[in-house]
Copies of this chain bind each other. A is one copy, B any other.
């Protein structure tokens, strides 16, 4: 790293000496680039990149978490849910061909893999290279840790065929299930938060790291794909490992209690990963991502008495326990009665969404809260970026249809919708999408 235009001296080196905490990224870069032996661990689960040279001066700082980008499945699905989301949907630029798409996916793979390790994108990053050319990296994450960043790439229905045109020779490869979601009762979808030919689910523990990733991947896509919409989220509303506590959504309730967890390989194979026999072959080991932007009518909800809120959800607000009793992780007893009435209401959310009400269908949820400011009428513009992964979109569709009589519907409004086929992971040297395009 050099600092052009600064005469006499090397401010970068002085900076590192004056602020030892800022050397982490540089050391991580050196470790990942030149000392492969430091990177240990398998292709699944988080691994820690050790930076032993920095340890003596940084005793109190925990090692940053780096999730491997490459693997059998893409990262960001069973990965322990990070604190922040920045989801971006893209459309391909008119006039691009299959080769452009392939190159874009190769470039995104290379860029995402570097970002995941906490490296700058491009050969020269934000500071080196030709001072007369735009930097490869935009620089706002220079001093930040990898922050458990994951980038998950998906393909929307329009990538395979748009208005009857097979732009990329992919129409025959489209899984029949990959189509725009059907209309649901009470949909109020906006084009400005729906659809997309390519989807990037970017999650990180630092929102600036997530924003940096989307910004730089969008920059890499210039001339080939452009952003259609994007949505930030915070306060993960699910858990994907048994060790994560269950967070709360903006209804004030725990969310994600009964999620499919990463330590349940049978459950993942049954409900999340596309099997080879499911077809198409290119999607084996992949999954389907459904995103619904669900606005919560916050002020209406906040006017409901606690007892009513709990009846609607079917769980206790404090503990998250089902209203049939027990604790948060107790199985709901849908037959239990209190004074003759069902303890868990027939139209409660937990009952209608529960696998026992849906022929055993389950989905892996990975949602986030969002706040987009206030509406002009003074109401909070906020809700849930619902994201789920499933072996087939039919799982989500069936559950969402079962929610048609959900009493919660009075307080929510689906304003965005998107679906993506998420191809399997890639090996180092390969690229996400190679099973489709290769």
Which A residues are closer than 8 A to B by beta carbons?
1-9, 11-12, 14-15, 18-19, 21-22, 86, 88, 126-127, 129-135, 138-143, 192, 206-208, 211, 215, 218-219, 226-232, 234-235, 245, 247-253, 298-299, 302-307, 309-311, 316-321, 323-329, 338, 343, 369, 371-374, 376, 378-380, 382
Known: A11-B327, A139-B317. A310 touches B229 (CB 8 A): no
Chain B residue with minimal CB distance to A137?
B252
CA distance A277 to B234 in the complex (A): 45
Cβ-neighbour of A235 out of B138, B207, B299 (below 8 A):
B207
CA distance A317 to B177 in the complex (A): 48
User: Within 8 Å CB of A15, what residues of B?
Assistant: 318-321, 327-328
Q: Is the CB of B374 within 8 A of A372?
A: no
Cβ-neighbour of A252 out of B86, B126, B307 (below 8 A):
B126
Q: Is the CB of B252 within 8 A of A319?
A: no
Q: Is the CB of B371 within 8 A of A307?
A: no
Q: How many copies does the complex hold?
A: 2
Q: Is the CB of B248 within 8 A of A302?
A: no
User: Within 8 Å CB of A329, what residues of B?
Assistant: 18
Chain B residue with minimal CB distance to A252?
B139
7 examples of A-B residue contacts, CB within 8 angstroms: A7-B325, A11-B318, A14-B321, A126-B306, A131-B307, A134-B306, A230-B380
Known: A235-B208, A319-B12, A328-B15. A374 touches B88 (CB 8 A): yes
CA distance A250 to B142 in the complex (A): 11
Residue of A305, A329, A343 with most chain B CB atoms under a 10 A cut-off: A305
User: Within 8 Å CB of A382, what residues of B?
Assistant: 211, 215
User: Within 8 Å CB of A253, what residues of B?
Assistant: 139
State how many angstroms separate the Cβ of A236 from the closest Cβ of chain B.
10
Q: Is the CB of A373 within 8 A of B232?
A: yes
Chain B residue with minimal CB distance to A234?
B207
Q: Is the CB of B215 within 8 A of A327?
A: no
Q: Is the CB of B252 within 8 A of A138?
A: yes
Residue of A142, A211, A373 with most chain B CB atoms under a 10 A cut-off: A373
Q: Is the CB of B229 within 8 A of A4?
A: no
Known: A11-B327, A86-B371, A302-B134. A127 touches B317 (CB 8 A): yes
State how many angstroms separate the Cβ of A343 from the closest Cβ of chain B.
6
Chain B residue with minimal CB distance to A8?
B325
Q: Is the CB of A326 within 8 A of B11?
A: yes
User: Within 8 Å CB of A140, what residues of B?
Assistant: 235, 248-252, 369
Q: Is the CB of A380 within 8 A of B218?
A: yes
Q: Is the CB of A211 within 8 A of B371?
A: yes
Cβ-neighbour of A138 out of B14, B143, B302, B371 (below 8 A):
B302
User: Within 8 Å CB of A371, what residues of B?
Assistant: 86, 211, 230, 232
Further 14 A-B residue pairs, CB within 8 A, beyond A6-B319, A11-B316: A3-B318, A5-B310, A14-B319, A18-B328, A127-B306, A127-B317, A135-B317, A140-B249, A140-B250, A207-B207, A211-B369, A211-B382, A230-B371, A232-B371
User: Within 8 Å CB of A374, what residues of B?
Assistant: 88, 227-230
Q: Is the CB of B373 within 8 A of A231?
A: yes
